[in-house]
Each structure stands twice: as C-alpha cells, then as structure tokens.
Structure 1
Amino acid sequence: MLNTINIIGFVQAVFGILVFLTKRPKHLSFTLLAVWMAVISIHLGASLLPFRVVDYFKPGIFPISFLSGPLLYLYISSLTVENFKLKPQHLIHLLPLLLVAIHRSIIPVVDIASSSDLSENPNFVYNKIYYSLIMVSALLYWVLGWQLLIKHRKNIPLYFSNYSGKNSLNWLLFVLSLFLVVFIASFISFFINNILGLGIVSYTKTATNMTIFTFIMVYFGINQSAIYSKKKPMLVPHYPHTPAEEPDFKPANTSLTQDQVESLSAMVTNYLIENRPYRNPEYNLQMMADDLQISRHKLSHIINSGQQKNFYKFINQFRVAEVKLMLTDPSYHHYSVLGIAMECGFNAKTSFNRIFKEETGLTPTEYKLALDKETKARKPSFG
C-alpha cells in the first residue's frame, strides 16, 4: 500500500515539474513550484529504489528536507511581493542544507530507524540535532509565510479595485494550514517517536503527507497566475494628460501641498468620469498611474489624502454611481441588477451587495424597488 502511495505521489510531482516549467506566461512562482515538486519527487523516488541512497551518496536525501520551508516562503514572496526577484542574499536559505550535507559526509551516518539510546548508539545524537533543526526551520518559515500573506491581504484595497480568487490567495492560507498539520505535525510526531523514543502512535506516513500536499499544490498552482502583472488590459481610451497639465511636484520623498493634492484629486475624478476605466473588473492602481503618467506612490497619496478613501473604496464608489445611473436607463431594463453590476466592473454578487449597501444604505433589491415605486408615482393618472 505504501509503495502505491509513493508511486502516485512521485508521478504527481513529476507531472507538476513538467507543467510548471512549461506554463506560460513564465513567472518566478512557477519555477519555484517546479523546484519544490523536484524536491518531493526525489524524496518519494528514493523510497522506491531497491537500495539505500546513503550507500552510494553519504549525505543521502535527508538534507533536502531543509528546502521545504524556504521554498514555501519564497513561493509566497513571489506572489505577494511586487517585482520579487531571487537575489544572492537568498542563498542563505540553503545554508542549513549545506551544513547538514557536509556534516553527514564526514561522520558515520546513523540510520534514523536505529536505536535512539545514546549509551549504545552515541552518533544518534546527530540525528536528534538534525530533526530539531528541521522542526525549528519549518516553524520559522511557516510564520514568515503567514506574515507575508496577512500583509498582502491588508494591502489589497490599496492596489486592487476588486477582491478575487487570484489576488486574495485564500487557497494559500489553506495550504499554510495544511503545511502546519501535514509537515510540522508529522516532523514533531517523528521526532517524539524516533528521536526521543517515547513511542506515540504516528497519525500518518510522510509519503502520504507528500502525496496529498503535491496534489493540492499542483491543482491550485496551475490556476494561480501572477498577481502584480505589468500587463495593461485597459478597455478605455488613454486619458489626454500631459505633464504640463499637472502642478509641479515636490521631490518624491516629501509630501505634496494641500493645493496640489486637491488639484490632482480633481484631475483623477475627471479622468474616471470621462473614461470610466472602472468598468474593467481587473482595474488597479498601476493602470490608473500609467494612464495619468503619475507615479503610483504619488497617486496613492492623492487618493488617500484628497478623497479620504483607499483605492478600493474610491473606485467602487464610481461603480455604484454607474449602477444607479444604468438602473434608470430604459435601454438597460432587460438587464438584471447583477448583470448591470457586472457591466459596471463588479466581479461578485456578494461584494456588490455589500458595497452597494455601504454607499446607499439600501440593498440593490431594495433600491430597485424604491426606484420602481418612484417611477410609478411619477406617471400621470387618467382615472
């Protein structure tokens, strides 16, 4: 049974490598996933060999266990940190792997399944140290990954005009929780059993954990594209703006004057009214900055200070106004309220209902009924 699970997990991991290496458009996140799948395939593939790896390669495959945490952290970074790139300083994440590999190559390697009694097997102390380090490493990277995700989710309203499955990364929160249970709990269970020798019942096998985790990462990873994309899928004409039309800026590291903020805020509002770019559900702060030829940092300051709103609320205010306008337009009477909302740039019924009520004090249905009642009341009576 265990061999079957190993084979299934190995095949899944190899499939994942091929998928992520060939996926287009290319992105660092796919490369990191391909490397992660390679690490898992080595683990599972080694268990299928008719010999022990340490008999031919003294460090064995154990040191690459130290890559799970760093790969998780770097993958999350590649999605949540804009313009994230691998740099020479990231090589520090390989240090535990290298130190353990070097150490295992110069000492007598002790099988993890051997006796943990140090009086009869003194070299087993190294295994205790290795597994202690790997638990600390996994927990540390889990915390770092969780912090990145929470920070990213707090920043969504500052950059995006809609929450979506792509930018909210709900699935990755689930993966982090799974990582905590599947790997960290498994390491702790193994540590208590094989290192401390306390003999508790292990809830699952490592091969089973890796197989489940591989399936989930391949499934979700295929569907997750880059969040901070440089593409500009604008559906509206370019706003006729030149640098000469905007007030002189102070240097980027100082604040704009109140007059500058008010003038630029009015310019942004006119741009939105005239071009209606918010009808694109993928509209974001970078698209607006590109159209207005203003740095994103300054534009964010203009919106936050001039409108007293973040980008998300600011754009959805215009979407709600557009919905209200279209509800009174006879040419859209054959549309449902939700259909009109989608035309105006909303991407989900739940968020539309919530935002509409925040802006108007009524649900879309209540607003539509009140509008219909008002329209009937205005019709002349011939009775």
Structure 2
Amino acid sequence: MDKISVLATVAVVTMSISLFLSLFLITVKTEYKLSNRLFAFFLVLTAIDISGNLGHLLEIPLAARVFMSSFFFLQLPTFYLYILSVSYTDFKLKPKHLAHTFTFIIANLILVPRFYSVDLASKISFLEGSGRMLEIQLNHILTHIQIVLYLTAAFMVLRRAKKVYLENYAGASIESLNWLFQFTLALSVFYFIALLKNIFKFTEYPNVYEWLKIGLLLFELIIIFWYLYKALNHPNLFRNIDSKLKLVKNIISEEKNSEQLPVHEEKEYNEELLKLKKYMIEEKPFLNPSLTIQDVSKDVGIPVRDLSVLINHKLEQHFYDFVNTYRIEEAMDILKDFTKTKVTVLEILYEVGFNSKSSFNTAFKKHTGVTPTDYRKSL
C-alpha cells in the first residue's frame, strides 16, 4: 500500500470517528450542552481540515478546498472556548466571542484579490508559487501566532481553574481538570508536529513531509479515541467551578489595599479554627463527596471569604487537601478496625467521601507515605 492509500485510509477513518463523536455529543442528553456542542464543533472543524487530504478523491473546487483549509483558524479558538465552558459553570457564549473569528476572516480576506476573485488558471498559478506568495507567508505567520497564543491561554485558564478548585472544592472535578491539562498537552504536541511538518513541506525532503502527515492523522485518531473513551466511561467527569470565585492571594491583596475591610486578629482566627475543627470531627461533612467551601461556611457560620483565608492562607493548606486529610484519617480508622477486615479498599474510599480509586490512593500515600493496602498489611 503506497503512502497516498495509507493517508486516504487513515483520513477517512479519522473523519468518520470525528463526525460520529460530534453527533453523539450533540444528541446525548446532559446538562453540559454548551461544552458538548463546542467540542462537537471542534470535531467537525477537524473533520473538514482532514478532508483536505482527500482532494485527489473528492471533486471539490479549488477555491472551496482552500476555503475549507482556512477552517483551521477556527479550531483552536473553538477549543479554547470549550476549555472555558468546561472549567466554569457560568460560562456563556456572548457577541464578544466573535472576536475569535478574526484570524479566520483575515486569512480569507487577504486571498480575495489574487486568489478567490481570479480565474482557475490564475488560482493554479498562485498555488504553484505559494512558497513565494506574501499572502501564504502571512497566513503561515498567523497560524504560528494563533497556535502559541491559544494553547498558552488554554493552559492559563486550566491553571487558574485548578487553583480555584483546590481552594474551594473537595470533589472529583480535579481529575477532570488534570485530564483536560493532559488533553491540551497532547494537542500541543500535535500542533508542534504539524508545524514541523509544514517546515519540511518547503525543503528537499518531501517524503518526510508525507510520513509526518500520516503520523499526524494517526495521532489525531488516537486523541479522538482517548476523548471518546473518557466521555463514555466517565460521564460525570466533566464538572465546573464558579468563575466568580477569587484566589486567596487576591483576597489577601484586596484586604491589604482596602482600609474599609476589617483586619482579622490572630485571636479571631484561632477561635474560628477551633470551631471549624470541632465541626469537622463531630459532623463529618467530609463524607459528602461533593463538599464545597460554601457548604462548610453555611454550617459553621463563618463567611466564605474568611473561611477561605483561614484554611488556604493561615493553615497554608488547600481546602481540597484540608478535607482529604479528614477523609484519610477516617479511612485509617476503618483500616485499623479488625472487625472490618472484610471491607474492601474500594468500599472504604467511597464510604469516606472519595469517588475515585486514583485520587484516594494519591491522597492516602501523600498523608501516610504508603498505599492503603500496604497500610492495612502493616497493622
């Protein structure tokens, strides 16, 4: 099988999977409709981009083929909006988000005078000399700039979302954010290889360019299957946080800069800390796998802002880790109980408020230095 046949086969399979997954995301019943639709649109754009590898099989007019290739400029903006929608519960599409189509519009407008508006012979001549054409060079520059800016922006959103989550939540969404970070990292590697492929396109090594093209399609297929696996096996993985929540360092900064805000005395913090610890031990709110700092604030009568500063700043411990400490202590008590030797580790982790084995094992080893199984064996 020659390279063209391999490329066409992989392209058709990847397009089919992309379109199938996009249809699934649009039709599945879920409360996260916006996130699903954004990622479905990203997959459709991916399928359109891949269709450019089937130009020799599909009778697509030259101008339409070039226009379809420009849909690449919508892929990363759509992915960035998807990251925002998954990270924040209150994210909504607004007219201002149309600004993300700017590079797509520019990339097509600059091609109007010498490509879109001329006859077929002139179009062919333009593309044959594409390496020398200013419009093509400008589009390549826009491509590189967009990749760097949007991927950097996506990582920044995930970094902030994770910090806010750790300071205010103690559920499963941290796994969602970690997975999204891994997914974004995989996409970054994909686009880096794509840029490398484009460099070889204008060198004396066309074979390298063709094989990188096939490799990218296979990599793209793996990434899509990876997402499909996660979406089908962990439907509740994708949960969001409130974008209005502030990081503790920003709260502290505001308190220092504002003369109107009362400054907490050390005595007040100590009283609140005793109150909080008593509540955690007696009421055991940590058994709730979806516990938030708002829930604790309501029960102990300490304002969320003050409680956040107390835990995340004064105790120098994220709310996520603070709650997990009590969960691990509870799990240790169960593991020590000789009347509960038949209770499995999996049963224990759900009983104490965790909802995944990986997060439980990580937290347990962080707290004790050993795994739950090894801890039980050592007793």
C-alpha contact (below 8 Å) 2:168/2:293 kept by paired residues: yes
Counterparts in 2 of 1:292 and 1:25: CA distance versus 1, 3 Å: farther
User: Which SS does the other structure have where 1:25 is aligned?
Assistant: coil
Report if aligned partners of 2:165, 2:241 keep a CA contact under 8 Å in 1: no
Residue number among 263, 267, 285 corresponding to 2:275 in the alignment:
267
Aligned position for 1:214: 224
| Structure 2 partner of 1:102 | 109
Q: 1:59: how far off?
A: 6.2
Unaligned runs of 5+ in 2: 117-122, 243-257
Q: Which amino acid aligns with 1:76?
A: I
Q: Does 2:128 correspond to 1:114?
A: yes
Q: Is the 8 A contact 2:77 2:100 kept in 1?
A: yes
2: CA distance, partners of 1:358 / 1:177:
25
Counterpart Cα distance in 1 of 2:299 and 2:65: 59
Give SS of 1:36's match: helix
User: After superposition, where does 1:1-383 map in structure 2 within 5 Å?
Assistant: 1=5, 2-23=7-28, 24-45=30-51, 47=54, 50-55=58-63, 57=64, 60-81=67-88, 83-109=90-116, 110=123, 114-116=128-130, 118=132, 124-161=133-170, 166-170=175-179, 172-193=180-201, 196-200=202-206, 201-202=208-209, 203-205=212-214, 207-208=217-218, 210-222=220-232, 223=234, 225-228=237-240, 255-289=263-297, 291=299, 296-305=304-313, 307-327=315-335, 331-336=339-344, 339-347=347-355, 352=360, 355-356=363-364, 359=367
C-alpha displacement at 1:12, in angstroms?
1.5
Quote the RMSD (CA, aligned, Å): 3.7
1:192 positional shift: 4.0
Name whichever of 130-139 and 4-13 sits farther off. Answer: 4-13
Which amino acid in 2 is paired with 1:300? Answer: S
CA distance in 2, matches of 1:106, 1:341: 65
* Identical amino acids, percent of aligned pairs: 24
* TM-score, normalization by structure 1: 0.73
Deviation at 1:94, TM superposition (A): 0.9
Q: Count matched residues.
A: 343
Contact in 2 for aligned 1:43/1:61 (Cα 8 Å): yes
CA distance in 2, matches of 1:190, 1:365: 51
Deviation by residue 1:311-357 (Cα, 9 ceiling, x = unmatched): 12321232233234445656534435664444222455665566556
Residues 131 and 191, structure 1, Cα contact 8 Å, conserved in 2? no
Distance 1:213 1:350, change over 3 A: closer
Shift of 1:268: 2.7
> Residue deviations 1:32-79, cap 9 Å, x none?
101101212323446467333444x59621221111221222222223
AA partner of residue 301 (structure 1)? V
Equivalent-residue separation in structure 1 for 2:372 and 2:218 (angstroms): 48
Letter in 1 for 2:128: S
Assess if the C-alpha contact under 8 Å between 1:131 and 1:187 holds in 2. Answer: no
C-alpha separation between the residues in 2 aligned to 1:353 and 1:140? 36
Q: What do the CA deviations read for 1:212-270 (whole angstroms, capped 9, x no partner)?
A: 4433344434546432268xxxxxxxxxxxxxxxxxxx999654444443343333333
TM-score scaled to structure 2, two decimals? 0.73
Shift of 1:275: 2.5
Amino acid aligned to 1:21:
I
The answer (yes or no) to whether the contact 1:156–1:167 under 8 Å persists in 2 is no
Distance 1:74 1:12, change over 3 A: same
Corresponding letter in the other structure for 2:43? M
Between the aligned partners of 1:125 and 1:10, the Cα distance in structure 2 is 31
Alpha-carbon distance between aligned partners in 1 of 2:274 and 2:342, rounded to the nearest angstrom = 35
Contact 1:63 1:101 in 2 (8 A): yes
Is the helix fraction higher in 1 or 2? Answer: 2
Q: Structure 1 residues 26, 168: CA separation in 2 closer, same or farther (over 3 Å shift)?
A: closer
**AA aligned opposite 1:22:** T
Q: Distance in 2 between matches of 1:274 and 1:333?
A: 25
Q: Is this contact kept in 1: 2:286–2:352, CA < 8 A?
A: yes
What secondary structure is seen at the aligned counterpart in 2 of 1:204? helix
- How far the C-alpha of 1:152 sits from its partner, in A, is 3.7
> How far did residue 81 of structure 1 move?
4.1
Contact 1:73/1:144 (8 A) holds in 2: yes
Unpaired runs of 5+ residues, structure 1, are: 119-123, 231-249, 372-383
